[in-house]
Structures are given as structure tokens and as C-alpha cells.
Structure 1
């Protein structure tokens, strides 16, 4: 990538929507503390023919990206990282779950990222298959890391309808002893629960897998728009800057722009970039909207 003044990097990204290039080149050029939200799903270890990273070296491969994103994140900004562990197909751990995901989370925490929460993306229509002595994979992780101690987090943007009926809501509103505090400095007040217009959805997010890669999105690991929508809504303000450094077919960018964010992505494979440009231009939802449900 030719030198580009720092002041020109974000305008270039916003103008193109998704640029064709290596995140290793683009991320360090982002202005310091300029990004409100990184939401991304990087290549998983040993998972795709177009980008094979051995799980034993995944942490060392990813950490330069993590460090560059942290430098570019605002003090109230976050990184939501969608990633999945895998069964090792060779080496001493062959046949076992490889711990590279957990190793990465700990490495990021040690590097200065604040590990806020672990979300489970529950996939009710996960693809069946032959997995040895285990059930099919029907969930993935989304890890929330923050730059500072008070990250932007809009729970009201993702609330879901209450399950309780009107009588139960009225009864709970009359509770005067509902406050619960924790030693970590957090807590909740059940007496205020029903003043928000909807329930806390919890950290298990149920979003059906998309099969739009077979219906036009030229990517073998297309993310459902409902997943991106949940985390863009909760993790970034209106008009905030949202960047996906492993943009693929552009789902994060399409969804974030639809929600009023200034969004852009970086993608190293030109065929995916072309598809992202098409989707951004058309802004036509290409899969069944995600079902954001309270699970539990």
C-alpha cells in the first residue's frame, strides 16, 4: 500500500466502503483513537482454503492486528471478535479441541484490552455433519474487548419484548427490595426492570445461519446480517465509526451503514471486495433477518 496521510485514511475507507488490501497495512495507518467499534470475524484457524493459519501460531499471527486496532480505538470504543475453536487435525492434539481461542483471549487481555464479556452466538439451524464423538457445532463465540473502563454500550438498542404477562409486570413493579449489587461494582434493580420497554436479551444471541453465500454473496463464510446488527446496535453510537478489518462480503459495512453509522471495511481478496461493493450499492437485505431472542 502506498503511503497515505493519516487524515486521508478514513475518508478513503468511507468513500470505497470496502478497500482491497491487507489489514496489516491499513490498521496501523488509522488515526489514533478514531474508531468507535471494530466488529469482525477473522479467518479461523485451519478453516478456509483461502487463508490457512495453523492454530499453534494463531495468537502470534493475530496479535499485531489486535494491537493496531487498540491504538485506533477511542477510549469508549470496543472490539467485538467473532471466532470459533476447532478440532485439531494433526499434531499432538489431533482429535481434541485446540485451545487457540482461549489462548488468544488471554493474550489480548495481557496486551491491554479489557475483556468485558463472552457472548454465545446460538445457531438454531446449524449445519449437521460428522464430528466424531461430539454433537454438531451449533454455537460460536463473540468476545467483547474494550479500550477503556467505560465502553459505550447501549443495552436499550437490543432489548426484546417481555415474556411476563401484564399482571406479573405490575407485581414486579411493586417490589421495593429488588436491588442487587456485586463486589465488582455492578448490580441491577428489579424494581426498575420494567421501566425500559423491553427485557435484557442476555449474552446468548440466537441468530439463524445465513445461506446467502449460495444465493449471491460470493463468500464461503458469510455472516448473517442479524449477528452484525446486534453488535453494531449495542456497541456503537449513531454516526459512530465502525470498521471491519476482515470484511469478507461486506456484511458488517452494509448493516452498519443501514443503521446510520460511518462504516468501512478492509478485505484482502479482490473477489470478496467486488461482492461487498455490489451489496453496499444495492443495500438489499440478502438473507432472512436474524431473530434476536431472549434465551434462557
Structure 2
């Protein structure tokens, strides 16, 4: 009951100022449907510098607390980006801290469900040495249990095939149903769903402080949050962002009828995030799903 009371107070506040490490243990055990977050990237932002060599060690205590708070059908979805090391023995190379983190989370007990690519059509060119500009980031889906909540119907995309082709495919009697992993879909039935299964590439233009007053240098586009909140959490469910930043996750989750709260360590972002929450501000372009093999 005490934790439920704490949750009620945090939900009323919306964006809670403080360290997620202090607030995550106050969440009801097994009560969170979705943690959706973009934690500070390694060695990337002046307001939160974490050396890539130490990143896994830094993140795992948060992940352990999130695991305890996640429901049996709940998920943790992380947007994260690797980087080129600027010092040390790996200077000039891509640092493997993202991959190291994924494996460490799996070893902790998180089930690695899927890897998504956030494609950024308006990525800014930069001085990256002998490589092209960064135009994508990773989004990793982890779950606590074997059957996490996931609603494909919420994110289906319009068919590109004409009516005759859809009718032909409806006659396919050999659709794949199950795999040895215990999952699978009967493609003979997908055309009854009103849209195609989306691919695991999500195209969303990058946000460049688009919301007036956001001083955050790594604001998440609302279209990215929208896609994962809609498919990976039920209406009325609890969505939490431990690294809330300018409040995008909380704003979008509440817009789609979820309960939501965010924790933010840096006070200068909290006020703006609360203003966004009060206004329900929506000025980012929506995500565009790309179906693979359609």
C-alpha cells in the first residue's frame, strides 16, 4: 500500500526531480508495464558524461531495479547509440559498450526480444573520419517474461499490394505458423488484420530542440516514443521513463491513455518537461513504419 501511495503521488507530479536510482525502488513490484527510455549515451553529453568503459557498470543497477518493478508481461525498451572512442586503446574505433550492455542485460535475466533500427532521414552530417554520417540508432526491446504484451494491430501499416494480390495471398494455405523458438505468425491470416505487420525499421525525423524552450540537446522525437508505447503497453497501463529529459515519453504515453511518470536528475530540464506535460505539446512528426519484404 505504501508503494501504491508513492506511485499516486509520483503520477500526480508527472515529472519527478531526482535520481532514478532513488525512485525506482518506490514503484510497486511487478507493477510497470513498460519502461521506455533513452538513457545518457556514453561520453556524449556535457550534462552526463559516462566513460564507455564504465557504461555497463553504471547502467546495470538501474536495470536491476527496473526488472524488479516490471510486470510479468512488461518490457524495457532502450534507445541507445554507440560511438567512436575519443581516447584510450580504442581511440578512433567504434566502442562496443552498447553490445556489452545488451549481453549483460540478458545475463541479468532480461529477455532480449528484438533489435530495432531508428532511421533518421534528417541526420546532420559531421566529422566522423573514414565513415559516413550517423543516420540510425538502436532501440532494444527486453522483456521480463516469456510472453510480453505486444499489440501489432496498434502499429500496422497500410498494404501496398492491390486487392487482387491480397485476395491471392488469402488463398495461401502454407503460411508459417510456429517456429522452434515458440513464436510465429500465420501469414494466411495477416491480411484479415487491416494492415501489414511493420518491419523493425522505424523512420522518424530527428528532433532539433523543436519544442520551444527545450534546452535539452538530445530531445527524443515524439514519433519514436509513440510507436513503442502504442505496441508495447496496454491502454491504462503504467509507462515509466527513468531518464525523462524533456518529458517526451510521459507526454506521449498520457496522450495515448497510459499512466506515466518520468524521473529526471537535471533540474533545468524538469521545469520545461512539466510545461510540456501540462500543455500536452505535440509538434514532432509521427514515425513512419517500413515493412520489410512487402
If the length of structure 1 is used for normalisation, what is the TM-score? Answer: 0.96
Question: Does the aligned pair in 2 maintain the 1:254–1:279 contact within 8 Å?
Answer: yes
Which of 61, 66, 90 does residue 63 from structure 2 map onto? 66
Which position in structure 2 is the counterpart of 1:230? Answer: 227
Deviations 1:7-52 (A, max 9, x none): 3221121111100000111112212111000000000000000000
Deviations 1:189-228 (A, max 9, x none): 2211201111111111111112234743221100000000
Which position in structure 2 is the counterpart of 1:111? Answer: 108
Question: Does the aligned pair in 2 maintain the 1:212–1:287 contact within 8 Å?
Answer: no
Which position in structure 1 is the counterpart of 2:23? Answer: 26
Which position in structure 2 is the counterpart of 1:46? Answer: 43
**How far, CA to CA, are the matches of 2:283 and 2:266 in structure 1?**
21
Which position in structure 2 is the counterpart of 1:209? Answer: 206
Which position in structure 1 is the counterpart of 2:89? Answer: 92
Which of 280, 283, 291 does residue 294 from structure 1 map onto? 291
Question: Does the aligned pair in 2 maintain the 1:21–1:268 contact within 8 Å?
Answer: yes
Q: What displacement does 1:181 show?
A: 3.3
**How far, CA to CA, are the matches of 1:223 and 1:294 in structure 2?**
23
Q: What displacement does 1:6 show?
A: 2.1
Which of 52, 55, 61 does residue 52 from structure 2 map onto? 55
Structure 1 residues 99 and 148, CA gap change in structure 2 (3 angstroms):
same
Deviations 1:248-279 (A, max 9, x none): 00000000000000011000111111011100
Structure 2 unpaired stretches of 5+: none
Give the aligned CA root-mean-square deviation in angstroms.
Answer: 1.4
In the alignment of these two chains, the number of paired residues is 293
**How far, CA to CA, are the matches of 1:185 and 1:214 in structure 2?**
43
Alignment of 1:4-23 (within 5 A): 5-23=2-20
1:185 and 2:202 aligned: no
**How far, CA to CA, are the matches of 1:62 and 1:150 in structure 2?**
25
Structure 1 unpaired stretches of 5+: none
Which position in structure 1 is the counterpart of 2:262? Answer: 265
**How far, CA to CA, are the matches of 1:203 and 1:291 in structure 2?**
11
1:143 and 2:140 aligned: yes
Q: What displacement does 1:5 show?
A: 4.0
Question: Does the aligned pair in 2 maintain the 1:180–1:188 contact within 8 Å?
Answer: yes
Question: Does the aligned pair in 1 maintain the 2:239–2:253 contact within 8 Å?
Answer: yes
